[in-house]
Amino acid sequence: MAKNIKKYFAMLIIALFVLAPAVYAQDAEKLIDDAKRYYKQGDYYKATDYLDKAKKKINDMMGEKLVLGLPPAPRDFVISKSTEREEGQEEVSLEEGISRKYKSTNVENAEIEVSINPVLLMEREVTATSEGQEIYVGGKKAILNFDPEEKNGVLEIYLTNAIVCVYSSGFASSNVMIDFAKRIDLGKIESLMK
């Protein structure tokens, strides 16, 4: 158990200094220091608890930063309301990625959702595992799955350190989803993930 905690410390410290700005760094650093203190005292449960809190701080900071990679609503779309958040407000924690929904103003009951799902440091190499049609969006490999009868689909774009998913529902073809994906600044997302 002590060996795993040491690895966890190392990962958190690396993530902290590479990814965290000063405000979050101070909070996360204090939590890590507290975790070290409890670890040295042999209180592994408290040490783990403080490491989890530090990880959440770092994830929240990264999520707030990554929101900048979500595209604004293009013409013929508005950012839609969600039951979990206020209109236009994104979830900003990396625990399950971040996303934004866009409602079509031209097609009834049609929407697009864009989500950014970071890849953990330990799993840095992203490889396409989904089945579907292989295409390229912005020079990046993507897998397209679209069912014209159900009028829904997903386009998974594989970046170096994240998977960007574009979900579509209510549109008769995948063209709307692909065109929407082309508006996403994938380079910006990759740079925000460094």
Q: What is the model's pLDDT at position 173?
A: 92
What's the total number of domains in the chain? 2
The pLDDT of residue 71 is 85
**Which residue among 23, 40, 66 closes a domain?**
66
Query: Is residue 144 located within the same domain as residue 106?
Result: yes
Instruction: Give the Cα separation of 53 and 32 in Å (integer).
Output: 9
Are 131 and 36 contained in the same domain? Answer: no
Please give the full DSSP string across 18-68, using - where no structure is assigned. HH--HHHHHHHHHHHHHHHHHHHTT-HHHHHHHHHHHHHHHHHHHHHHHGG
Do residue 95 and residue 183 come from a single domain? yes
The answer to whether 174 and 166 are in contact (CB under 8 A) is no
As a dihedral over the C-alpha atoms of residue 133, residue 135, residue 141, residue 147, rounded to 10 degrees, the angle is: -40
Q: Are residues 15 and 75 in the same domain?
A: no
Residue 14 lies in domain: 2-66
Does residue 76 share a domain with residue 52?
no
What's the whole-model pTM score? 0.67
Lowest mean pLDDT among 1-15, 19-33, 92-106, 176-190: 1-15
Provide mean pLDDT across the span 97-103: 85
**Single residue among 66, 89, 113 that ends a domain in this structure:** 66
Q: How far apart are the first and last CA of the chain?
A: 30
With tokens 């079509």, the residue in question is 104
What SS3 class is residue 128?
A: coil
User: For the segment 133-168, what is each residue's pLDDT rounded down to a tens digit?
Assistant: 999 999 999 999 999 999 999 999 988 878 889 999
Q: What pLDDT, on a 0 to 100 scale, did the predictor assign at position 111?
A: 92
Residues 57 and 137 in one domain: no
